[in-house]
Amino acid sequence: MVAWLQQFIVAGHPLTFWIGWAWTISSIVLTTWIILQRKSPVSTLAWIMVLNLLPVVGLLVYAYFGPQRIKRQRLKRWHKRAALMSREDVDALRAERPDVPPWARQHARLIEQASGVPMSSAQSVEVLASGGATLDALLREIAAARGHIHLEYYIFEPDETGTRLLHALVAQARAGLKVRLLVDAIGSPKLLSRRHRQLLNDFRAAGGEFAVFHPARLDRLRPLVNLRTHRKIVVIDGHTGFVGGINVTDDENEHIRPDNAYRDTHLLIRGGAVRWLQYVFLKDWQYAEGAAPAPDEDLLPEQAPGSLPVQIVTSGPDSDTEAIHRAMIDALNMARERVWLATPYFVPTESALTALTNAALRGVQVKLMVPEKSDSHVVTAAARSYFKELQDAGVLVFEYHGRMFHAKTLLVDELYGMVGSANFDNRSFRLNFEVMAVVMDRGFNQRLAEMFEDDLSQCKRVPLDRRAPPWQQLFEAVARLASPLL
């Protein structure tokens, strides 16, 4: 076989001529196409190398993993109504807190310009430090619902946790409430499988509405792996909202897996800021289902302004503004005392890495917490490739041991806190749909600080003289090289 192939090539068979030309033309076309995507130079060069060095395999890899823009319509009516309500909230906040620092106003303006979501308020923000506690709170609020329940999840497993939640939703749907559930196709394949079809049939039969974000179909290569909704949002009656990093799965429920459930963080928000979680959900629902729910004043109800400044930050591949990316970098740049960052996946962009090390270099106490082992060996290796550079700048790096660490929080000085679904990586910043909540309040900041310090008791600080075997150093270097594609 090999001898025949060598003779085939050496003989200058006409087929080799056409294969060569096809390879050349496809390389030129694909390279031009990638350049016109106008992504970051590092990511663009990486994809060009993959496509040209692996002409067939590279094309398949790009089809599954490559970046791509999509366009979505803005729900103008709901956006305008929510914006008017938020202005009233901000006016009330300014009257109550006239000493708001200028940087807070500038930061809020940056988020509004980048994501279209202005500062709002909340009457209360409760920090939920585990999946079991979040499920308990969620079931309690669902039982108390009176009008509608909206849920959007990346992972919704049909296990004990998911089945219990679905049964609660079915009960409320049968009682006449509007219940809508949106899940991501890649994140929730088991729920969508034939084996668990009866669960969804029961949900629909009770009157529940169900939609899938970017279904993966064999007749359509895109989108498959990227362009996912990584958001975790629940809105109940327009007054109560949940947002954070916790999915619906036994893997994150310590009541079921007390020894190895993920350590994660979620928020329960009451008040005006919930209207923006509602807006994000409605926008995603319209995109996935093809039509938004009928106009209903109960979806964005009137409510008294709260005393806590809260701003919802959204980003995704439907926009080039990278609002969450910009917000995190701006928060790092304005730090003067401390930056405590927790993330399960640390694969920073060049600008995010620079902002983090700049903070340490100017004397800010910077602590980074990552898992000792994430659920991706490649991502873990890529994260470790940055440790020396971070430590040389003065960043204190900690690895969480014992169980998977999945919390996504950012704490800056004594006033700023951010919690949500976005990791500190290229995928969350540029490829997936994400949502975060920024809370500018000392009490909230202190609660996050206490949680961070509790988590530190489960961590080991990465030594400055960390040494790894040569093969591991090579693996980490290669993983870092592939970081723009992760």
Residues acting as catalytic residues? 230, 232, 237, 406, 408, 413
Burial 27-44 (b: 16+ CB within 10 A, else e): eeebeeebeeeebeeebb
The dihedral over CA atoms of 110, 116, 122, 128, expressed in degrees to the nearest 10, equals -90
Q: CA-to-CA distance for 486 and 478, rounded, in angstroms?
A: 12
Cβ neighbourhood burial of 202 (10 Å; 0-12, 13-18, 19+) = middle
Q: CB of 281 within 8 A of CB of 182?
A: yes
Q: CB of 243 within 8 A of CB of 93?
A: no
Q: CA-to-CA distance for 420 and 410, rounded, in angstroms?
A: 9
Q: What is the distance, to the nearest Å, from the Cα of residue 297 to the centroid of all Cα atoms in its chain?
A: 29
Q: CB of 117 within 8 A of CB of 90?
A: no
Pairing of strands 396-400, 365-371: parallel
Q: Report residue 400 as tokens.
A: 């969480």
**146 Cβ contact partners less than 8 Å away, ≥ 6 residues apart:** 177, 237
Give the phi and the psi of residue 449 in degrees, each rounded to 5.
Answer: -65, -40
Q: CB of 315 within 8 A of CB of 115?
A: yes
Residue 251, CA distances (Å) to 169, 254, 268, 281, 326 in order: 21, 8, 20, 25, 31
**132 Cβ contact partners less than 8 Å away, ≥ 6 residues apart:** 253, 254, 255, 256, 261
DSSP one-letter string for 416-464 = EEEEES--EEHIIIIISBEEEEEEE-HHHHHHHHHHHHHHHTTEEEPPT
